[in-house]
Structure 1
Amino acid sequence: MSERRVTSRDVAQRAGVSQSTVSYVLNHTPGQSISAATQARVLQAAEELGYTLSAAARALRSGSTGVVVGVLADAPLGPVVVQVLEAFGQVLESQGYSVVFQRRRGRSLDEMLRALAPVALAQFAAFAPDELGAARQRGIPVVGVSVDGTGGNVVRIPQERVGEIQAAHLLDRGHTRLGYAASAHPLAVVLMRGRLAGVRSLCAARGLPAPVVVDVPLYPDAATRAVRRLRDREEPVTAAVAYDDEVALALLAGAHGAGVRVPEDLAVVGVDDVPLARLALPPITTVRVHTGDTGTGLARHLLRLLQPELGLPEPDDEPSIDLVTRAST
């Protein structure tokens, strides 16, 4: 049996720092304020484990840095996104690549490529397809996560399907007047557009009214007002599709403040299956997108481009998506 390859996770554990810190130190990433003592600790751990020598040898053989850059959109990183990034990094690091994640922060792709000189790029909804010309001109392979189904070498997360699964669960339980609890965060619009379209299309297909859409801020008083807008109608909303589990939690708080029972008066279904959804009162029914599939599939797309000699099979273009039924519905 071959010996397991040392990864940056091993170095991070030995040095007592995060994987991001290891990547910043070993890849000499500019703009980081890492103390000399921490850098020394990382370099010592990498030397003891043989990680630096392995990475250096790979760079000499390939004539490149061996660094894969993942560019993140300027949006909040929830637990689901973090799981995708972890799965993506683990696969690539097992093949000897170093993975560095960077926020876009308004920078052009050309600027980022010149500064980081990667062998490949993974973009997580940070750039539109027409912005990727700078990478193509340099011959840098690009993969990405797509929420609208466009592009090649991407893992697609069909947001309309997510919304359809949420709505179908509620309609199959006999609800005929749905609400849509939208995120008040301005950066949620890309995902929310697809999810809401899925809910609307299923309601239309079943001859039911379009969902009542309300913003649900993550504050108890504001969430209570949102729940009252759903309920204080000629035809009260009896079930709400939430943008994600965080908004679903806000709905539970708002329902409590408005004296509305969940699920007797208002059923609630979220998205993401975050740990807090299981601990809520009542526990939240949710749609789970298998994030390991997303990160692993994206990394395999990239390895097929970087190392075609491996003959890797083409990965699935979509992750598994399923419903987790709990007491909120």
Structure 2
Amino acid sequence: MTRPAKRTTIADVARTAGVSGATVSFVLNDTPGQSIPEETRQRVLEAVRQLGYRPRGSARALASGRSDVVLLSIPHLSIGPGITRFVEQFATSLAHAGLTLVTHLAGAPGRSLPDVCAAIDASVVASLDPLDDETAQALRGAGADIVFTTELAAHSIMRRTGRRQAEHLIALGHRRLGYALPQHALLRKIADERLHGAADACAQAGLEPPLALETKLDTAATARAARRWRREAVTAVCAYNDEIAIALLAGMRQARLTAPGDLAVIGADDIPLAQVADPPLSTIAFDLEKVGRSLADAVVASLSGREPQPAPASLEPHVIQRAST
């Protein structure tokens, strides 16, 4: 069995460069008030490159009083393309500021969020779900200097998504709506909130609640649902997300139904495939990349002692109309 390579230490760098460990530390941390000759500085940096030395995060945190780790708590749900885009942009923007993102599934089996925060020595914790006062206090006790919550997974934005779907269809003249729900248990929390939002829009327009049917990513199943909606005089369907909506369009073709002639269909999340569906899919979109950049800017501002800017208005869901409606 091959033994793991021994981690390079400051002592190794100091020995290679022919200087003290303190001198190496002064050079790497660019310590103010230390007059290190340029030739010595370059010798230390060359030893660092030669040995592949990487400072330990805990050592940097001890020197600076704060780690560079940001912990993001994501609800224990099926992670869709929208949240993925947000996380990618958030991580990239933090990296540009020298910060590292670690994600944690809230509610999944294993350690609690405060325990994870303490284990990785996170300076900042951001959560996509609201945090109760007890959890926020525990996070600060675990070492987090800053605790953020965002609106991405909040009930209000989920309801606004369903409301915008239904409002769009009602504005087009539809008076009997359906709602395509997923079977996956991890998706039902979000799906039910979106359905409630659509029902709110129907109630405000004096219409019956949407006829909600559970379906899956299966052409035969969505064909059966489409036939049922037509028998019940439904003329337009809100789908939980774009994947369900695209599956519904395929089922409609099998059932010899057209969109929007027989059933208008609108999805949510604006995945790349939505615009090349047959027909191109109307959907609800968010500028999640902008939200990721905005949250990263708020983290950096807070760490620098500045007042973070409020969340961007682009978080408001908006309709992208295509041929399916």
State the TM-score bracket (shorter-chain normalisation). Answer: 0.7 to 0.9
- Per the TM alignment, residue 95 of structure 1 is displaced from its structure 2 partner at its CA by 1.6
1:72 matched residue in structure 2: 74
Asked if 2 retains the 8 angstrom alpha-carbon contact of 1:217 and 1:223, the reply is yes
Distance 1:73 1:316, change over 3 A: same
- Per the TM alignment, residue 184 of structure 1 is displaced from its structure 2 partner at its CA by 1.5
Q: Structure 1 CA distance, aligned partners of 2:130 and 2:265?
A: 31
- Per the TM alignment, residue 314 of structure 1 is displaced from its structure 2 partner at its CA by 3.6
Q: Structure 1 CA distance, aligned partners of 2:53 and 2:181?
A: 46
1:144 aligns with 2:149: yes
Asked if 2 retains the 8 angstrom alpha-carbon contact of 1:160 and 1:196, the reply is yes
Q: Structure 2 CA distance, aligned partners of 1:83 and 1:149?
A: 17
2:285 matched residue in structure 1: 288
Q: Structure 2 CA distance, aligned partners of 1:248 and 1:242?
A: 5
2:302 matched residue in structure 1: 305
1:319 aligns with 2:315: yes
Task: Please give the secondary structure, in 2, of the residue aligned with 1:224.
Answer: helix
- Per the TM alignment, residue 252 of structure 1 is displaced from its structure 2 partner at its CA by 0.7
Asked if 2 retains the 8 angstrom alpha-carbon contact of 1:55 and 1:97, the reply is no
| Larger Cα-atom Rg | 2
Asked if 2 retains the 8 angstrom alpha-carbon contact of 1:181 and 1:215, the reply is yes
1:244 aligns with 2:246: no
Q: Structure 1 CA distance, aligned partners of 2:82 and 2:118?
A: 30
Deviation string for 1:182-224 (max 9, x for gaps)? 1222112232233212211111111111110011211122222
Amino acid at match of 2:103: F
Write out the 4+ residue segments of structure 1 that deviate beyond 4 Å after TM superposition. Answer: 50-58, 126-130, 147-150
Q: Structure 2 CA distance, aligned partners of 1:51 and 1:286?
A: 49
Percent identity, aligned pairs only, is: 34
Deviation string for 1:236-274 (max 9, x for gaps)? 110001111011011112212222111100000011110
Task: Please give the secondary structure, in 1, of the residue aligned with 2:94.
Answer: helix
Asked if 2 retains the 8 angstrom alpha-carbon contact of 1:286 and 1:323, the reply is yes
- Per the TM alignment, residue 53 of structure 1 is displaced from its structure 2 partner at its CA by 6.4
1:172 matched residue in structure 2: 171
Unmatched runs of 5 consecutive residues or more in structure 1: 1-45, 151-156
Distance 1:318 1:61, change over 3 A: farther
Unmatched runs of 5 consecutive residues or more in structure 2: 1-47
1:39 matched residue in structure 2: none
- Per the TM alignment, residue 130 of structure 1 is displaced from its structure 2 partner at its CA by 5.0
RMSD across aligned C-alpha pairs, in angstroms? 2.8
Q: Structure 1 CA distance, aligned partners of 2:309 and 2:172?
A: 41
Q: Structure 2 CA distance, aligned partners of 1:230 and 1:277?
A: 22
Alignment coverage as a number of residue pairs: 274
- Per the TM alignment, residue 47 of structure 1 is displaced from its structure 2 partner at its CA by 5.6
1:23 matched residue in structure 2: none
Task: Please give the secondary structure, in 2, of the residue aligned with 1:282.
Answer: coil
Structure 1 segment 82-231 matched on structure 2, within 5 A: 82-104=84-106, 105-106=108-109, 107-125=111-129, 131-138=135-142, 140=144, 141-146=146-151, 158-231=157-230
